[in-house]
Amino acid sequence: MSVLAIDQGTSATKAAVISDEGALLALVEVPVHVDYGHDGLVEVDPQALWNSVIQAGQQALALAGGSVTAVGLANQGETVLAWDPVTSAPLTRAIVWQDGRAASVCAGLHEHASQIADRSGLVLDPYFSAPKMTWIREHWTDQGVVTTTDSWLLHRLTGAFVTDVTTASRSLLMNIETLAWDEHLCRHFGIDAAALPVIVDCDAHVGMTSAFGPSLPVVGVMVDQQAALLAQGCVEPGQAKCTFGTGAFLLANAGDSVIRSARGLTTSVAWSTASQKAYCIDGQVFTAAAAVNWLSGLGLLTTASELDSRAAPDTAGVQFTGGLAGLGAPWWRTDARAALTGLTLGTTSGHIIRAVVQAIAAQVADLCQAVAADTGTSITHLRVDGGLSASVTLMQAQADLAQAEIHVYPHAHATAYGVAAMTNAAMRGLPVQPWPWSAQRVYTPNWSAGRAAQVIDLWRQAVRANLPASQEVTT
């Protein structure tokens, strides 16, 4: 049997028809336009998002030319909007996970940050759902319900008012131990727990939909990064992956118990089914492909595919800090801004491109070191996926700086494969298992550990030197 896996991402929606043997029978990708503003605004038109889901799904089914038995949905995790629970009509634009305007909400809750982290497993930051939900209530509307995009999409598809446990674990509203909405957390954010969707397992049978043509059950729902973790076979504690998409997202399987990070990472649910539960420890780089797109906007690149041909062999002393949308884990500085230093009359576009590539890799290596400190186990093998995993320049830089083997997933669609595996298992009533895979390419470090440590240390120094003095640096 085949399933239709929908991966609703930040800049595009992918729809893949995948057989029970793991064969990709059809794939359609529909872009989604994201609006960026200078005040931290990152928004998307909900109707355009919905249209992309329907268009991608319908076209994928038409291309596959055969029947499917179910639909699975992966979502962005922390993107939110207000909508009418009767008609499903959006009442606001969707605030994307990168949006930083809810920093004021977090600032008002600073004295409760430790308690919030203890209950939720997350850091108090506008990246997560609850601050943005509160911001919508304070600035846009008190009408309807405010949820993550998955609940809205699932309601439009099936009429059910649900969210899955992995998405709920990214909200700052769910208790990471009980896997239920936490009244104390909800009160902090001024949110009525009774008005939130029902939390369901990842293998839940949500309902039926005819949105893609034939009437199909919607079964299998997950956050996109957790779906990629599953697809890449990170099913044992310590196994880690990084997805290089709009941002770069490092997740390591933490087993069936909660790990409390002392290094600025967060703990979420990796997946939860009727028979299985796993946690993950994770960190985020807010701009990866987004940083490459920024280079394109400046005219230094035409497309990301030019990274390998346009990057210089070294940076020639140019240092890029990252921070185009603030800094995520382990820094958590929404006020950070990117800096480009070390420029001379001899600096070329290739040096700048190389510096941006090296900064992405340095941020991921920073996360690898934080995971190792929290878990006591070094990441010696990192599984990677996402569009930028095709870049030889970036992947070699990642191997060099992380001092780890980089194993490239053979498909550009790990998230779709992960949610398809969940849907397939749910329909069969079996424990979820990813399809086996072999690395498309393996990168090994060319640098010594000493050289890698020196480059990362210089990058950290540049980050610290560029941070505003209004907050204490904790990393």
| One-letter identity of residue 328 | G
Enclosing H/E stretch for 228: helix 224-231
What is the residue whose two structure tokens read 């390591």? 252
Domain regions of the chain by residue span: 2-209+217-232, 234-408+445-475
> C-alpha dihedral over 363, 177, 276, 385, to 10 degrees?
-10
Give yes or no for a contact between 388 and 394, defined as CB atoms under 8 angstroms apart: yes
Q: What is the pLDDT of residue 474?
A: 43
Q: Do 2-209+217-232 and 234-408+445-475 agree at the fold level?
A: yes
Provide φ and ψ at 385, rounded to 5°: -150, -175
Q: What is the pLDDT of residue 7?
A: 98
CB atoms within 10 A of CB 11: 17
CB atoms within 10 A of CB 91: 18
Beta-sheet strand order (sheet of 94-95): 35-36, 42-44, 94-95, 80-83, 145-148
Q: Helices marked H in 45-197 — which ranges? A: 46-64, 103-108, 113-120, 129-139, 149-158, 165-168, 183-188
Q: Please tell me what DSSP assigns to residue 203.
A: T
Does residue 58 sit in helix, strand or coil? Answer: helix
Q: What is the largest CA-CA distance in the chain?
A: 64
Give the pairing of strands 70-75 and 216-223. Answer: parallel
Closest alpha carbon to 10 in 130, 95, 100, 124 = 95
Give yes or no for a contact between 48 and 71, defined as CB atoms under 8 angstroms apart: no
Q: What is the pLDDT of residue 472?
A: 44
* CA 110 – CA 125 distance, rounded (Å): 10
What DSSP letter does each residue of 289-313 carry, written as one string? HHHHHHHHHTTS-SSGGGHHHHS-S
Provide φ and ψ at 371, rounded to 5°: -60, -45
Taking the chain, what is the end-to-end CA distance rounded to the nearest angstrom?
49
Beta-sheet strand order (sheet of 12-19): 24-31, 12-19, 2-8, 70-75, 216-223, 205-209
| One-letter identity of residue 51 | N
- The CATH architecture of the domain made up of 2-209+217-232 is 2-Layer Sandwich (3.30)
Q: What is the number of helices (H) and of strands (E) in the chain?
A: 14, 22
> Which residues are 291's β-sheet partners?
none
Q: What is the model's pTM?
A: 0.94
* CA 436 – CA 1 distance, rounded (Å): 18
* CA 250 – CA 244 distance, rounded (Å): 9
Give the pairing of strands 162-164 and 145-148. Answer: unpaired
Q: What is the pLDDT of residue 470?
A: 59
Enclosing H/E stretch for 249: strand 248-255
* CA 127 – CA 252 distance, rounded (Å): 19
Q: Give Cα 338 distance to the centre of its chain.
A: 21
Give yes or no for a contact between 415 and 224, defined as CB atoms under 8 angstroms apart: yes
Q: What is the CATH number of domain 234-408+445-475?
A: 3.30.420.40
Q: What is the pLDDT of residue 38?
A: 82
> C-alpha dihedral over 448, 288, 368, 165, to 10 degrees?
-160
pLDDT in tens, the chain (475 residues): 899 999 999 999 999 999 999 999 999 999 999 999 988 899 999 999 999 999 999 999 999 998 899 999 999 999 999 999 999 999 999 999 999 999 999 999 999 999 999 999 999 999 999 999 999 999 999 999 999 999 999 999 999 999 999 999 999 999 999 999 999 999 999 999 999 999 999 999 999 999 999 999 999 999 999 999 999 999 999 999 999 999 999 999 999 999 999 999 999 999 999 999 999 999 999 999 999 999 999 999 998 899 999 999 999 999 999 999 999 999 999 899 999 999 999 999 999 999 999 999 999 999 999 999 999 999 999 999 999 999 999 999 999 999 999 999 998 899 999 999 999 999 999 999 999 999 999 999 999 999 999 999 999 999 999 999 855 444 4
What is the radius of gyration, based on Cα positions, of the chain? 21
